[in-house]
Amino acid sequence: QKEVEQDPGPLSVPEGAIVSLNCTYSNSAFQYFMWYRQYSRKGPELLMYTYSSGNKEDGRFTAQVDKSSKYISLFIRDSQPSDSATYLCAMSSGGVWGSGGYQKVTFGTGTKLQVIP
Amino acid sequence: GAGVSQSPSNKVTEKGKDVELRCDPISGHTALYWYRQRLGQGLEFLIYFQGNSAPDKSGLPSDRFSAERTGESVSTLTIQRTQQEDSAVYLCASSLGQGGGYEQYFGPGTRLTVT
């Protein structure tokens, strides 16, 4: 079993739809949860990160973490064609975000999203 | 400002040849990571450099893989006697590292094809 499981998709939605992307994980030591967006033939870029359980909102994006279920989600409201990309979840157990220490990050396989105009 | 750059962007090589991939991190970033991304797979950690500390090589898949970094600047990933299963996109990332933020900034990757 992989440490992080993510449905590869592809997921195709009409413009304006609410998108839900999810990952499950098995390592209970994970404390830091991240979502990266990767456009075709580009490197991933960090969208959001959260620490421990709870929700975090940034514009049209909301990240949710449920540590009891080992399940994380990314919601995209009012999806736009420019949101079409692969979304990778990522997790880490070590270090403290923004301070010293080494964060080794485990990535999901990514979900390919297509938003159709 | 300049982001992480990688060269070459594409590399086609014959099985058994050696290849060298280059990464130029963001200036001032002390941490540097190499990942491998196979088609339909997640990012696979290969190696991590932090300043002048000994690198974490725990992700290197075999002794055919090696990497070096000169101080806090350029890094090269070398794959000797390439095999077809080495075909993948090799991504480099850098971050401020110890004492700074941990957001990893990725380069565009080198797409390696072994024929």
- In 3D, which of B89, B110, B102 has the Cα closest to residue B32? B102
CATH number for the domain harbouring residue A14: 2.60.40.10
What is the tally of structural domains in chain A? 1
- pLDDT averaged over every residue in chain B: 90
Choose the mutation target among A5, A33, A45 for the interface with B, i.e. most B CBs under 10 Å: A45
**Minimum Cα–Cα distance from B99: chain A residue:** A100
Mean pLDDT of A89-104: 64
pLDDT digits (tens, 9 = 90+) for A17-69: 999 999 999 999 888 899 999 999 899 999 998 888 889 999 999 999 999 99
Choose the mutation target among A2, A37, A50, A103 for the interface with B, i.e. most B CBs under 10 Å: A103
**Minimum Cα–Cα distance from B48: chain A residue:** A104
Instruction: State the pLDDT at residue B28.
Output: 87
Residues of A in contact with B102 (CB under 8 A): 95, 97-98, 103
User: Which token pair is B50?
Assistant: 């932090």
pLDDT digits (tens, 9 = 90+) for B75-97: 999 999 999 999 999 999 998 86
Encode B81-100 in three state secondary structure: CCCHHHCEEEEEEEECCCCC
pLDDT > 90 fraction of chain A, expressed in percent and rounded: 68
d(CA B45, CA A5) in angstroms, rounded, equals 16
- Cα–Cα–Cα angle for A56, A57, A63, nearest 5°? 55
pLDDT > 70 fraction of chain B, expressed in percent and rounded: 94
- Please say whether the beta carbons of A70 and A93 come within 8 A: no
The reply to whether A44 touches chain B by the CB within 8 Å rule is: yes
Cα→Cα distances B62→A2, B16, B20, B34, Å? 20, 15, 16, 15
**Domains delineated in chain B:** 5-110 (2.60.40.10)
Q: Which residue has tokens 């690198």?
A: B55
pLDDT digits (tens, 9 = 90+) for B43-63: 899 998 888 888 888 899 999
Mean pLDDT of A63-81: 96
A82 in helix, strand or coil?
helix
| Domain of A87, in residue numbers | 4-116
Instruction: State the pLDDT at residue A100.
Output: 45
A70 in helix, strand or coil?
coil
pLDDT at B100 over 60: no
